[in-house]
A and B are shown apart, each in its own frame.
Chain A
Amino acid sequence: MELVQIQRRLVDYTKSLFMEGFLDAQFLQLQQLQDDSNPDFVFEVVSLFFEDSEKLLNELTIALDQPNVDFKKLDSHVHQLKGSSSSIGAQRVKNACIAFRNYCDVQNIEGCLTCLQQVKQECYLVKNKFETLFRLEQQIMASGGSVPTIELGF
């Protein structure tokens, strides 16, 4: 495929992610921090996020399986997840975490379970999106081009 086309596809894809609310402004900040001295910054951060989130989601699943649910522990895990997701700009994950925290505050187990499902879902979705994004970027780099900066037309 033509470099320009791939670049355009990348730009359109990124824009769509913003439009759909998967990403927010924070992600752009991350991209800004990537430069020649730090070429894979975004990739590293995102990968770290997914490792982190997997661990946290496992912990959450185990915690909610207990007969006596420790809401404090639950809350602290969700807080972590919320922090991480907001740091990289994963907006939908962050919003799902906020909802999760509300249910934790009122100690509603049913609600928590539902939210957990939702968080997992959102993580999974955004992971896919990122993977696509990174694949496109790699393609561009492989073709010798540079990743275009997002033109903000919206």
Chain B
Amino acid sequence: MDSCNCIEPQWPPDDLLMKYQYISDFFIALAYFSIPLELIYFVKKSAVFPYRWVLVQFGAFIVLCGATHLINLWTFTMHTRTVAMVMTTAKVFTAVVSCATALMLVHIIPDLLSVKTRELFLKNKAAELDREMGLIRTQEETGRHSRMLTHEIRSTLDRHTILKTTLVELGRTLALEECALWMPTRTGLELQLSYTLRQQNPVGYTVPIHLPVINQVFSSSHAVKISPKCPVARIRPAGKYMPGEVVAVRVPLLHLSNFQINDWPELSTKRYALMVLMLPSDSARQWHVHELELVEVVADQVAVALSHAAILEESMRARDLLMEQNVALDLARREAETAIRARNDFLAVMNHEMRTPMHAIIALSSLLQETELTPEQRLMVETILKSSNLLSTLINDVLDLSRLEDGSLQLDLGTFNLFAVFREVLNLIKPIASVKKLHVSLNLAPDLPEYAIGDEKRLMQTILNVVGNAVKFSKEGSISITAFVAKSELLRDSRTPEFFPVPSDNHFYLRVQVKDSGVGISPQDIPKLFTKFAQTQSTATRNSGGSGLGLAICKRFVNLMEGHIWIESEGLGKGCTAIFMVKLGIPERLNEPKLPFMPKVPTNHGPTAFPGLKVLVMDENGVSRMVTKGLLVHLGCDVTMVSSSEECLRVVSHEHKVVFMDVCVPGMDGYEVAIRINEKFTKRHERPIIVALTGNTDKVTKENCMRVGMDGIILKPVSLDKMRSVLSDLLEHRVLFEAI
């Protein structure tokens, strides 16, 4: 060994130290070789590692370091030059790689560090998103719950069910221990416990409404946390350590009147119910915001549902009321119908009973006319006949009155002599008036047409009734009848503002005024005059008889004639004036010379009024046939008799002018025959006139006869005069339509 200038003395290699170095180098080499292997292994395992080639570099560096240390093992002992060469190469390479790695690490390490920060940042972001997700989910859940609750609540319109359901569903959704509803009492001063969740039948606890806690809740539209110790929350059984939190919310009680169109209900109702919700005790749960929101939503829904329930109750009540009223009305209607039917039956029967003696009177009086009479007697008999005809008409009209009410009466229009009507009335009234020493005067205006078109019978009846009343109610003095054509200025009367007569070319308005100097009528009785069966009860009129129907019937006739009737009087004892106006037609000039249609009592009593008229009589009944034949023979007709419809059709020819057929025989169809005759004779002037003889003139029979084309109906039994007038009518006009 060379001597050197070292501080310490040189030291020859020691075996022990050598050995330790040897072993350490060995282990270092091992470690240096295994570390890269581990690195490679684990990096291969991991999916992502951005710096692979750095790893390679590092691995190379470590490997080379390891190699160096390994080769170092050989240098402890005497070694050859090759080993020294290898050792040197290894060291050189190691040096290169180490420096390269060191240089590279300068670039890489900051990157690696920043990766770490990014990772941290992303983790934070993920946590934040998680939080938000949680929030949204809870919100959605809340929404779902509230929808479900609403659905449950609104699925019924029964108030009780609504409230119960609300409490149950809320309890379930929010896992409540207790849920209660306090409703205001009628007085409005207290809140009463109405519904609870757990207790089945809440005892009627009441709590005054003006507690500060309650006011606080009522004044806010949100759910408010209240103390578990306040009176409304103290309904749980005691003995819990930590009562759960309590929340209260107001439920507005809305009335129908609160809802305006397009307007949210105003919350000035001031009527609230209180809903109290309690979380389970000992659970350390808190009220979350979303839960409170849910509670508020539910409270609103409950308010709406309750108001709907209230509306429904109202409408059900109204409907029940209507149904009751309907039932009552129906009953009343049926009773009225029964009454009407009873009245009609009565009228029909009475009518029949009254007609029978009437026929006797008319028949006998007409027979009496045929006998030898002195002129006074003749006059008397004629008056009797006319009166009885009028009476018969009145009887018909009593039946008509019921028909008038149904509106089924029609006027028989025809041309008639207006002057003659007034003259007849005068003649009829003169005897009675002269007995009472009343002076009757008739005044017909010069411009009144002589002939008019209207219902002569009913017009005469009206005038007669009015004049008759005048005579009846006058004890002395005079009666004046004036008739004239109403001019347009006079047509409109201040008393009858709803009556607007309009004269035209074909019509004129006849105005008749009957003034008497009798007892008069007090103003308050005037409206009652025209009501049926009502009579003024003054003593003067009590024994004047009459049915009280007269003026009512007159009014209806006048109305049918498109007119108006009224009575004026200045008071009791001052007489009265009856005025009526009716619309009559003006006949054309051509019609004037023609004879009026009304069948008059013939002045000649010769039996052969229709010499040689060929007539066919069809009647199954032998006796009836013979009587009809006798009647017609007496009138001079040439009568052929048949007793069956086949015979009738065989025999009938255009020579027969009239065919009388009995249609009231069941089983034999007179209508059928009429139809066949109509078919057989196509030309109208060849066809014989067909007249039905029947025992009843009800509507059905009349309609049937008209339907088959018959020209007239006669009611059996037929008097001689009737047959005569019927034949003369038929032959003159070829149409009759009803002679009773």
Contact between B623 and A25, CB atoms less than 8 A apart: no
Given the known inter-chain contacts A83-B621, A87-B717, please indicate yes or no for A32 contacting B627, CB distance below 8 A. no
A16, B124: Cα distance in complex, Å = 137
B460 within 8 A of A: no
Q: Does B225 sit at the interface, judged by CB under 8 A?
A: no
A154 closest partner in B (C-beta): B364
Closest A residue to B667 by beta carbon equals A76
Q: Are B622 and A38 in contact (CB under 8 A)?
A: no
Q: Is the CB of A80 within 8 A of B620?
A: yes
Give A121 to B666 CA distance when docked, in angstroms.
26
Query: Which stretch of B88-96, B143-151, B547-555, B629-637 is in the interface?
Result: B629-637
A25 to B630, Cβ gap below 8 A?
Answer: no
Question: From B361, which residue of chain A is reached at the shortest CB distance?
Answer: A25
Q: Is B290 an interface residue (CB 8 A)?
A: no
Known contacts: A25-B363, A28-B367, A86-B717. The answer to whether A33 contacts B633 by CB under 8 A is yes
A150 smallest CB distance to B (angstroms): 8
Q: Check A45 against B630 for contact (C-beta < 8 Å).
A: yes
Q: How far is the CA of A33 from the CA of B627 in the complex (A)?
A: 9
Counting chain B CB atoms within 10 Å of each CB, which of A26, A38, A88 scores highest? A26
Classify chain A's interface size: 20 to 34
Is A33 a contact of B630 with CB atoms below 8 Å?
A: yes
A26 vs B356: C-alpha distance in the bound complex, in angstroms?
Answer: 11
Contacts of B356 in A (CB 8 A): 24
Q: Given A28-B364, A79-B666, verify A84-B623 contact (CB < 8 Å).
A: yes
Q: Which of A52, A76, A84, A87 contacts B666 (CB 8 A)?
A: A76
Query: Of residues 359 to 392 in B, which have CB atoms within 8 Å of A's CB atoms?
Result: 359-360, 363-364, 367-368, 370-371
A48 near B666 with CB under 8 A, answer no
State how many angstroms separate the Cβ of B117 from the closest Cβ of chain A. Answer: 118
Complex CA distance for A152 and B366, rounded to whole angstroms = 11
- Name the residue on A nearest B381 (C-beta): A152
Task: Using known A-B contacts A32-B634, A45-B623, A49-B623, determine if residue A86 contacts B716 with beta carbons closer than 8 Å.
Answer: yes
- Per-residue CB contact flags for chain B residues 415-430 toward chain A (1 = under 8 Å, else 0) read 0000000000000000
Q: Which residues of B have CB within 8 Å of A85? A: 623
- Residue in A29, A37, A75, A84 whose CB lies within 8 Å of B622: A84
- CB-CB < 8 A to B720: which residues of A? 29, 32-33
Interface residues on B, range: 20 to 34
Chain B residues whose CB sits within 8 angstroms of the CB of A89 once the complex forms: 717
Residues in chain B near residue A30, CB distance under 8 A:
627, 630
B630 contacts A48, C-beta separation under 8 Å: no
Any B CB within 8 A of the CB of A35: yes
CA distance A76 to B666 in the complex (A): 7
In the complex, B607 has a CB within 8 A of chain A = yes
Q: Given A38-B634, A152-B364, are A29 and B719 also a contact pair (CB < 8 Å)?
A: yes
Of the candidates B360, B367, B622, B628, which one forms a contact with A32 in the assembled complex, judged by CB atoms under 8 Å apart?
B367
B726–chain A nearest beta-carbon distance, Å: 14
On chain A, the residues within 8 Å of B719 by CB distance are: 25, 29
Least CB distance from B92 to A in Å reads: 149
Q: Are B360 and A25 in contact (CB under 8 A)?
A: yes
A89 to B620, CA, bound (A): 18
Interface string of B322-337 (1 = CB under 8 A from A): 0000000000000000
Q: Distance (Å) between the CB of A91 and the closest chain B CB?
A: 9
Q: How far is the CA of A152 from the CA of B365 in the complex (A)?
A: 9
Output the nearest chain B residue to A26 by Cβ-Cβ distance.
B717
Query: B410 interface residue, CB < 8 Å from A?
Result: no
Which residue of A has the minimal Cβ distance to B722?
A29
Q: Does A66 contact B (CB under 8 A)?
A: no
**Residue A65, interface by CB 8 Å:** no
Tell me, in angstroms, the Cα distance from A30 to B624 when the chains sit together: 11
Whether a CB of chain B sits under 8 angstroms from the CB of A13 is: no
Q: Is B126 an interface residue (CB 8 A)?
A: no
In the complex, are the beta carbons of A83 and B630 less than 8 A apart? no
Give the CA-CA distance A34 to B363 in the complex, in Å: 16
Q: For the complex, would chain A's binding face be called helix, strand, loop or mixed by DSSP majority? A: helix
What 1/0 mask marks residues of chain A from 67 to 86 whose CB sits below 8 Å from any chain B CB? Answer: 00000000110011001111
Q: Which residues of A contact B526 (CB under 8 A)?
A: none
Known A30-B627, A83-B624; contact A75-B666, beta-carbon cutoff 8 A? yes
A38 to B607, CA, bound (A): 13
Which residues of the other chain, B, contact A24 by a CB distance below 8 angstroms?
Answer: 356, 360
Cβ of B210 to closest chain A Cβ, rounded Å: 82
**A84 partner residues in chain B, CB cutoff 8 A:** 621-624
Decide yes or no whether B18 CB sits under 8 A from chain A. no
Residue B54 interfacial (CB < 8 Å): no
Q: Are A33 and B623 in contact (CB under 8 A)?
A: no
* Min distance, Cβ A140 to any Cβ of chain B, angstroms: 19
Say yes or no: is B665 at the interface (Cβ < 8 Å to chain A).
Answer: yes
Q: How far is the CA of A28 from the CA of B626 in the complex (A)?
A: 15
CB contacts (< 8 Å) of B718 on chain A: these are 29
A-facing residues in B273-295 (Cβ within 8 Å): none
Q: How far is the CA of A38 from the CA of B635 in the complex (A)?
A: 12
- Please tell me if A58 contacts chain B, counting CB pairs below 8 Å: no
- Closest-by-CB residue of B relative to A31 is B367
Residue contact B621 to A152, C-beta cutoff 8 Å? no
Is A41 at the interface (CB under 8 A from chain B)?
Answer: yes
- Chain A residues lying within 8 Å of B664, measured Cβ to Cβ, are 79, 83
Would B621 and A35 count as touching, CB distance under 8 A? Answer: no
CB of B677, distance to nearest CB on chain A (Å)? 22
Residues of B contacting A76 in the complex (Cβ-Cβ under 8 angstroms):
665-667
A2: CB under 8 A from chain B? no
Q: For residue A55, which residue of chain B has the nearest CB?
A: B622
Give Cα A29–Cα B628 distance, bound, in whole angstroms: 11
Q: Which residues of B560-609 are within 8 A (CB) of A? A: 607
Closest to A49 in B: B623
Q: Are A38 and B623 in contact (CB under 8 A)?
A: no
Q: Given the interface contacts A41-B630, A87-B717, A152-B368, does A48 sit within 8 Å of B622 by beta carbon?
A: yes
Whole-angstrom distance between the Cβ of A19 and the nearest chain B Cβ: 12
B667 contacts which chain A residues (CB < 8 A)?
A: 76
Q: State in angstroms the CA–CA spacing of A34 and B720 once bound together.
A: 12
Given A30-B630, A32-B720, CB of A25 within 8 Å of CB of B665: no
Known: A25-B359, A28-B363, A149-B371. A33 touches B634 (CB 8 A): yes
Which A residues lie within 8 Å of B630 (CB)?
Answer: 30, 33-34, 38, 41, 45
Q: Is A110's CB within 8 Å of the partner chain B?
A: no
Of residues 83 through 104 on chain A, the ones whose CB sits less than 8 Å from some CB of chain B are 83-89
* B373 shortest CB reach to chain A, Å: 12
Q: Closest CB-CB distance, B17 to chain A, in whole Å?
A: 156
Chain A residues lying within 8 Å of B364, measured Cβ to Cβ, are 25, 28, 152
One digit per residue, 1 when the CB lies within 8 angstroms of any chain A CB and 0 when it does not, for chain B 660-679 equals: 00101111000000000000
A26–B371 Cα distance when bound, in Å, is 18
| Pairs across A and B, CB under 8 Å, 26 listed | A25-B717, A26-B717, A29-B718, A29-B720, A32-B720, A33-B630, A34-B630, A35-B634, A37-B633, A38-B633, A38-B634, A45-B626, A45-B627, A48-B626, A79-B664, A80-B665, A83-B621, A83-B623, A83-B624, A83-B665, A84-B621, A86-B716, A87-B716, A88-B623, A89-B717, A152-B367
| 12 more A-B residue pairs beyond the given contacts A80-B621, A83-B621, A84-B623, with a C-beta to C-beta distance below 8 A | A24-B360, A25-B359, A26-B717, A28-B363, A30-B627, A32-B720, A37-B633, A38-B630, A44-B626, A48-B622, A87-B627, A88-B623
Listed in ascending order, the chain B residues whose CB lies under 8 Å from chain A are 356, 359-360, 363-364, 367-368, 370-371, 607, 620-624, 626-628, 630-631, 633-634, 662, 664-667, 695, 716-720
